[in-house]
Amino acid sequence: MLVEQKNDRCFSCLVTTVNTQHQRKEEAGGDLKVLRCKRKNYYICIKCNSLLALLRRMVDLMADVPPSESKDEIEIDLLTAKVDILSWLFHIIRGVQQDKSKQFVMSQLDSKSGLLSSDWAMKVLPQSHREKMDEWFGKKGISLHVDVLFYMDTNHTLKKITYFTAIDRCLQDMSSVLCVFEHVIDQIKMDLPNLTTLYTRSDNAGCYAGTAAIISRQVICDSADIRLKRTDFSEPQRGKDQADRDIAVAKSCLKAYTDRGGNLMNLLAVCLVPKHQLLLLMSPNVFYQKLK
């Protein structure tokens, strides 16, 4: 295992390290190419090297065991465990690098740039305040997509805007994601007219990844006079913390709406829940009168 210079965390396997000074110059200049140092500098991660040595030692000890039926089973279990351990190790390595890229993007934000994080939420099932048990089965959920935009205001204060997009029927494929992205970009341009640079971040699902999706996003941004400077992908179960927090708040609002007597049966009801939440904070009596 190899680690970056002046850092004790793994970042790649069996590759040469990147010249960090050249990389910073290229990222600051906006070019997506990464200049690599011609000189090969290797740095060893002691913890990762010890783990690999332990796995090799276990394989060597297993080879000295006399042949038997139990040996075959143990070899299969050992091979499976080895693959799982290495997969988890590589997952951590990629996650560390993706966190570093997120920190780099956040450090580059200003009043004219923003970071947009996208994710699909779990589908919202139609639900009434009081329903029979047989009405629970056979429901078709309403898709909910969340986009979280980070930006700096004129006082250099980090702020966040969350956009929820509810879709009655969709396959959650690339075409759906691009339609939602175009709608969100139009809304961002209305909310932040001075925004000219955008960084995007999402998971590595099929609807987000791929050359077609990246190029289509770039075309959509160009049509709105926004430069798509960088696109990053996060590992499973990592990098979507902000979206998950906002999704949890939205789901709690939907649950509270039905508990107070509302019926969440269609797309229109999902879109009206935030307005009802605001009415409840302003005047509870007005809220209950509107429900009746």
For residue range 104-156, what is the model confidence (pLDDT) as tens digits?
888 888 888 999 998 888 888 777 777 777 677 777 788 888 899 999 888 88
Of 65, 87, 106, the one marking the end of a domain is 106
Query: Tokens 């047989």 label which residue?
Result: 134
Same domain, 182 and 60: no
Same domain, 274 and 197: yes
Per the CB < 8 A criterion, the answer to whether 126 and 264 are in contact is yes
Highest mean pLDDT among 4-8, 212-216, 277-281: 212-216
pLDDT band at 275 (very low <50, low <70, confident <90, very high): low
Phi-psi region of 291 (alpha: psi -120 to 50; beta: other; left: phi over 0): alpha
289 has pLDDT over 50: no
Same domain, 101 and 238: no
Burial of 117 per CB tally in 10 Å (0-12, 13-18, 19+): buried
- Tell me which of 69-83, 140-154, 271-285 is least confident: 271-285
Give the separation between CA 217 and CA 224, rounded to whole angstroms: 11
- Tell me which of 4-13, 61-70, 145-154, 215-224 is least confident: 4-13
Per the CB < 8 A criterion, the answer to whether 130 and 215 are in contact is no
User: Among residues of the chain, what percentage have pLDDT more than 90?
Assistant: 9
Assessment of whether the complete model's pTM goes beyond 0.85: no
Give the separation between CA 290 and CA 230, rounded to whole angstroms: 46
Reading the block at residue 271, the tokens are 């879109």
Same domain, 156 and 284: yes
Contacts of 53 (CB under 8 A, 6+ apart): none
Cross-strand partners of 44? 2
Question: What is the residue-averaged pLDDT of the chain?
Answer: 76
Whole-number pLDDT of residue 20:
40
Closest CA to 108 of 29, 164, 187: 29
Same domain, 91 and 143: no
Count CB atoms within 10 A of the CB of residue 14: 7
Whole-number pLDDT of residue 277:
56
Same domain, 248 and 268: yes
34 has pLDDT over 80: no
Reading the block at residue 209, the tokens are 């990844």
Same domain, 101 and 143: no
Closest CA to 43 of 73, 69, 6: 6
Domain harbouring 276, CATH code: 3.30.420.10
21 has pLDDT over 60: no
176 has pLDDT over 50: yes
Same domain, 213 and 95: no
Nearest 10 degrees: CA dihedral of 18, 102, 228, 216?
A: 100
178 has pLDDT over 50: yes
Give the pLDDT mean for 170-186: 88
Give the pLDDT mean for 13-28: 39
Same domain, 69 and 196: no
Give the separation between CA 139 and CA 148, rounded to whole angstroms: 29
Of 82, 106, 130, the one marking the end of a domain is 106
Reading the block at residue 23, the tokens are 């990389």
Same domain, 78 and 118: no
- Domain range for 34 is 2-106
Of 106, 126, 143, the one marking the end of a domain is 106
Give the pLDDT mean for 151-177: 86
> Using CA of residue 59, residue 64, residue 65, residue 66, what is the dihedral sign?
positive
Same domain, 202 and 267: yes
Contacts of 102 (CB under 8 A, 6+ apart): 115, 201, 232, 239
Task: Count structural domains, the chain.
Answer: 2
Helix (H, G, I), strand (E, B) or coil at 163: strand
Whole-number pLDDT of residue 243:
81
- Tell me which of 41-50, 76-85, 97-106, 281-290 is least confident: 281-290
Same domain, 80 and 147: no
